């Protein structure tokens, strides 16, 4: 079965959750009209990747960091509050699958801590999976907490069995293997890394896992940052490309099938065929006939790790 996918690397409205979601609804309608049934958005798309953390000084910019983070917290996605409802309704309306990167707030326990998460929304509008990034990268640790293994799951979608890791989680061999061992056919990597090295890594993962790989960062310039962003003009210049995007779709052979979409705020389309993934693993199946479980073993703790368990009498 052939599936048309859309990789959307348009910029969000930075630090504005509702406006970003409104823009996403337009992109979803555009992609649905083009016949796509699997749509992928970048890392932390709602309400925008915290690129400022790579520019601010840890000590000297403490007050500015605090102000920006407060706005991020106010605009983070609260799943339990229903912030994803407009996207879930759009998925159901158009009968498509969405993979979306979000800054998620933990409203259940702390009410403050944020997580770098990716959600999969199915064509009936249900939340199929939520995965929190296991290890934020470098200055990201000043923004997001560490996730647990509860979202290390491959889920069934009309396009195929889909799993996701966020950005540099893809460099964690055991995390990748945890997904390979669940018969993954499509690997989605919402990312901020648009480098040639990342592209080489995605091609390696496609070959290693015998799976389709979809990866994208956000194509965004300084001029896309709203005027309301604190000290915007000090941190960004209008003409600079903060990130070039580089959306790409790679076949299980490691061959690039579409993209990279460079310095273009748009949608990359491609067609994928799951049978291609199954045939690729005839000769190399790293969690099957090419594995040696008598020598190597992996235990994955997928139990949620809440900070407290309350037992009422």
Angle between helices 196-209 and 173-180 (to 10 degrees): 40
Which of the 8 DSSP states describes residue 245? E
Of the candidates 10, 140, 167, 208, the residue annotated as catalytic is: 167
Is 43 annotated as catalytic? Answer: yes
* Dihedral angle sign, alpha carbons of residues 132, 134, 139, 141: positive
Judged by DSSP in three states, 215 sits in strand
Query: Which residue out of 104, 133, 140, 185 is catalytically annotated?
Result: 133
- CA-CA distance, 102 to 118, in Å (whole number)? 6
C-alpha closest to that of 272 among 30, 9, 38, 18: 38
Q: Could you tell me the CA-to-CA distances from 87 to 9, 29, 72, 131, 149 in Å, in that order? A: 17, 11, 20, 17, 25
> Rg of the chain over CA atoms, in angstroms?
19
Cis amide prior to 183 (ω within 30 degrees): no
113: Cα separation from own chain's centroid: 19
Residues 6+ apart with CB under 8 A from 239: 221, 222, 223
294, 188 Cβ separation under 8 angstroms: no
> Residue 260: is the preceding peptide bond cis (ω within 30°)?
yes
211 counts as catalytic:
no
Residue 275 gets the label, from left (phi > 0), alpha (psi -120 to 50) or beta, of alpha
Q: Which of 10, 43, 140, 185 is catalytic?
A: 43
Work out whether strand 267-273 and strand 2-8 pair parallel, antiparallel, or are unpaired: antiparallel
Place of tokens 């090295």: 197
In the residue annotation, 57 being an active-site residue is answered as no
What is 275-297 written as a DSSP string?
HHHHHHTTT--TTTTT--TTT--
Residues forming the active site: 43, 133, 167
């Amino acid at each position: 079965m052939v599936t048309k996918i859309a990789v959307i690397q348009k910029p969000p409205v930075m630090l504005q959750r509702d406006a970003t979601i409104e823009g996403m609804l337009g992109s979803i309608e555009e992609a649905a009209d083009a016949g796509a049934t699997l749509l992928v958005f970048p890392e932390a798309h709602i309400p925008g990747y915290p690129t400022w953390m790579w520019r601010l000084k840890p000590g000297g910019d403490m007050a500015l960091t605090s102000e920006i983070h407060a706005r991020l917290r106010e605009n983070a996605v609260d799943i339990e509050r229903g912030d994803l409802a407009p996207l879930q309704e759009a998925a159901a309306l158009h009968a498509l699958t969405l993979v979306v990167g979000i800054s998620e707030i933990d409203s259940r326990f702390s009410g403050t801590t944020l997580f770098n998460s990716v959600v999969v929304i199915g064509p009936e509008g249900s939340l199929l999976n939520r995965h929190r990034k296991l290890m934020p990268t470098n200055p990201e640790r000043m923004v997001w907490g560490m996730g647990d293994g509860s979202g290390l799951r491959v889920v069934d979608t009309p396009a195929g069995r889909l799993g996701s890791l966020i950005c540099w989680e893809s460099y964690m061999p055991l995390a990748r293997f945890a997904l390979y061992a669940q018969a993954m056919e499509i690997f989605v990597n919402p990312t901020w890394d648009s480098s040639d090295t990342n592209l080489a890594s995605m091609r390696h993962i496609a070959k290693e896992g015998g799976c389709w790989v979809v990866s994208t960062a956000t194509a965004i310039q300084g001029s896309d940052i709203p005027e309301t962003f604190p000290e915007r003009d000090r941190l960004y210049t209008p003409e600079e490309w903060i990130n070039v995007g580089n959306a790409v779709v790679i076949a299980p052979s490691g061959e690039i099938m579409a993209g990279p979409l460079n310095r273009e705020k748009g949608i990359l389309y491609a067609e994928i065929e799951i049978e291609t993934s199954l045939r690729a693993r005839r000769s190399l199946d790293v969690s099957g006939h090419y594995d040696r479980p008598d020598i190597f073993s992996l235990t994955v703790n997928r139990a949620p790790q809440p900070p407290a368990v309350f037992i009422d009498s």
